[in-house]
Structure 1
Amino acid sequence: MRRIALWALVAGLFIPVIASQPAHAQASRTWVSGVGDDANPCSRTAPCKTFPGAISKTAAGGEINCLDPGGFGVVTITKAISIYCEGTIGGILAAGTNGVIINAAATDHIVLRGLDIEGFGTGLKGVTVLQAASVVIEHCFIRDFNSAGSIGVSFTPSNAGALLMIRDSIISHNGSGIDGTGVLINPNGGSAKVLINNSSINKNFVGVNAQGSVNLQVNNSNISESLSTGVAQGGVANIRIGRSMIVNNAGIATAGTVLSYGDNQINGNGPDTTPGSAGGYK
C-alpha cells in the first residue's frame, strides 16, 4: 500500500511537467531529402520531403539543409530562416507559379544558398521579396521564368531600409520576348539597398531594372545578351557599376543615370553608352 502511494506521489510530480511540453516543438535545424517524408520530424535521420514541410517544423532563425539531391517544392517564407543546399541540388520547379515568396517581418533575415530554381518556361517569378530586413541569394541558379512580365528576382519590399545581396549566382533566360526582367528592384516602402557581386545576369529581356529609391552596387558581374536594355535606371535610383561587363545586349547598354567606376567593359550593345563617373577611387 505504501509503495502504491509512493508511485502516485511521483506520478503527480511529473504529470504537470509532461503536460507543459509542446506536442511538436520546432527545431533550430531541419533536413530535407529526395526520399524524405513530410510526416517525419525533419531530423537528420528522418528528413522531410519538401521545403514547405520542413519550414513548418523549423524555428524562426533556424536552418533547413538538403541531405541529397531533390525537387523540394515552391515555398513561401514568413519568418527568419536560412535554406542551405550547397554541395547537392536543392531543386524548386515553379512551372506556372512563383518559386520562392518572401513575406516575413521587417526585422527578419533570410538566406537562400545553393538553390536551383527553374520556371520551366511558364513560371512567374523565381524569387519575389515583399518584406524582410535582408535577403541573401548566394550560389543560386534562377532561370526560365518566361510568362508575360516574368522576373528572375523581384525585390519590391514594403518596408524601408531592406537589403538584398546577390552573390555568385546565375540569373538567366527570364522574361518573355516583349517584357520581363532578370533582376527587378522597385521598393514601395521607402529606400532600399542592393548589392550584386560576382554574378551572371544573361539572356533575360532586361538585365537589371532599378526603379524608385534604391542604392544599387554591381561589382565583378556580367550583364549580357539581354533582348532589350542591359541596365535600366528610373526614379531616384542610384546605380554604380565596377569591374563588370555589360556586353552584347540587343538594346542600349545603360538607360537612365548609371554611374561607372571607370573599370567596366561596355561593348557590343545596341548601342553602347558611356556612363558618368562614380568616383570612389582615391
Structure 2
Amino acid sequence: MRRIALWALMAGLLLPFVVSQPAHAQATRTWVSGVGDDVNPCSRTAPCKTFAGAISKTAAGGEINCLDPGGFGTLTITKAISIYCEGVIGGVLAAGTNGFNINAAATDHIVLRGLDIEGFGTGLIGINIIQAASVIIEHCNIRDFNGGAAIGISANPSNFNSMLLIRDSVISHNGTASGGAGVQINTNGGSARATINNTAIHNNFVGLNVLGTSNVQVNNSNISENLGTGFALSGSASARIGRSMIVNNLGSATTGSVLSYLDNQINGNNPDTTPGTAGGYH
C-alpha cells in the first residue's frame, strides 16, 4: 500500500513537466522539397512538401529553405520569417487567390527570395502586405495575377514606418482592369517607405501606383509596356526616380508629382511627361 502511494506521489509531481513539453520543438531552419511530405519534421533529410507545412515547424525569425524545385503552395505569414529558394524553382501557384498574405507583428521582418509566384490568369494579389516592420522581396518573378483589379505586389500597411525593398525582380502581366497594377503602395492608417531597385515592372495595367502617405524611391529599374500609366502618384505620397527607363507605356509616363533626378530615359509613352526635378546627387 505504501509503495502504491509513493508511485502516485511521484506521478503527481512529474505530470506538470510531462504535459508542458511540446511534442516537437520548432526549428530555426527548415526545408521543403518537391518530393517532401508535411508529416515530416522539415529537416534537411526529411523535408516538408509545402511552405504552410514548414512554417508551423519553424521558429519565429527562422528560415525556410527550398531543397530542390517544387510547387510549394500559397502561404499566410504571421511572424518573422525568411524564405530562401535561390538556385531552384520555388514555385507558388495562386489561381483565384493570393500568393502570400503577410500580416505579422509591426516589429516583424520578412524576407522572400528566389520565388516564382504565378497567378495563372485568375490570381488576385501575388504578395499582399498588411502589416510588418519590413518586407524584402529579392530575385522573385511575380506574374499573371489577372483577376480583374489584381496586383502583383500590394503594400497597404496598417503600421507606421513599414519598409519595403523590391530588388532584382520581374513583376509582369498583372491586372486587367482599373485598380490593377504591377506594384501598388498605399497606406491603411500607417505609413510606408519603399525602395525599388534593378526591377522590371512590365506589361501590367498600371506599372507602379503610389498612394496615401507613402515615400517611394525607384532606381535602376524598367517601367515599360504597361496598359495604362507607367508611374502613377496621388494623394500626399512622394516618389523619386533615378537611372531608370519609363518607356512604351500605353498611358502617360507619369502622373502626379513624381520627381526625377534627370538621368532617366522617358520615351514612347502616351504622352511622355516631364517630371519635376528631385535635385542632383549629393
Normalising by structure 1, report the TM-score.
0.93
Deviation, 1:17, is 6.0
**In structure 2, what residue type is equivalent to 1:190?**
G
Distance 2:21 2:280 in 1: 57
Say whether 1:72 aligns with 2:54. no
Distance 2:27 2:280 in 1: 45
User: Which whole-Å deviations, capped at 9, do the CAs of 1:175-226 have from their partners, x for residues lacking one?
Assistant: 0155400000111123210000000000000000000101100000000000
Counterpart residue number, 2:166: 166
Aligned residue for 2:250, secondary structure, equals: coil
Deviation, 1:20, is 4.5
Counterpart residue number, 2:264: 264
Aligned residue for 2:79, secondary structure, equals: coil
Distance 2:49 2:236 in 1: 44
Aligned 8 A contact 1:177 1:227 in 2: no
Distance 2:19 2:232 in 1: 59
Aligned residue for 1:158, secondary structure, equals: coil
Distance 1:237 1:68 in 2: 41
Deviation, 1:26, is 0.7
User: Which whole-Å deviations, capped at 9, do the CAs of 1:83-138 have from their partners, x for residues lacking one?
Assistant: 00000010000000000000000010000000000000000000000000000000
Counterpart residue number, 1:107: 107
Aligned residue for 2:98, secondary structure, equals: coil
Deviation, 1:248, is 0.2
Mean Cα deviation higher: 184-193 or 26-35: 184-193
Aligned residue for 2:101, secondary structure, equals: strand
Aligned residue for 1:53, secondary structure, equals: helix
**In structure 2, what residue type is equivalent to 1:31?**
W
Say whether 1:87 aligns with 2:93. no
Aligned 8 A contact 2:157 2:191 in 1: no
Aligned residue for 1:54, secondary structure, equals: helix
Counterpart residue number, 1:58: 58
Counterpart residue number, 2:4: none
Structure 1: gaps spanning 5 or more residues: 1-7
Let me know the Cα RMSD of the aligned residues. Answer: 1.7
Mean Cα deviation higher: 189-198 or 166-175: 189-198
Deviation, 1:21, is 2.9
User: Which whole-Å deviations, capped at 9, do the CAs of 1:28-57 have from their partners, x for residues lacking one?
Assistant: 000000000000000000000000000011
**In structure 1, what residue type is equivalent to 2:208?**
V
Aligned residue for 1:154, secondary structure, equals: strand
Deviation, 1:24, is 1.8
Counterpart residue number, 1:4: none
Aligned residue for 1:160, secondary structure, equals: coil
**In structure 1, what residue type is equivalent to 2:257?**
T
Distance 2:29 2:19 in 1: 25
Counterpart residue number, 1:22: 22
4+ runs deviating over 4 angstroms = 11-20
Counterpart residue number, 1:152: 152
Distance 1:270 1:27 in 2: 53
Counterpart residue number, 1:36: 36
- Equivalent residue pairs, number: 274
Deviation, 1:281, is 1.5
Aligned 8 A contact 1:93 1:117 in 2: yes
Distance 2:185 2:177 in 1: 20
Aligned 8 A contact 1:238 1:258 in 2: yes
Aligned residue for 1:23, secondary structure, equals: coil
Say whether 1:140 aligns with 2:140. yes
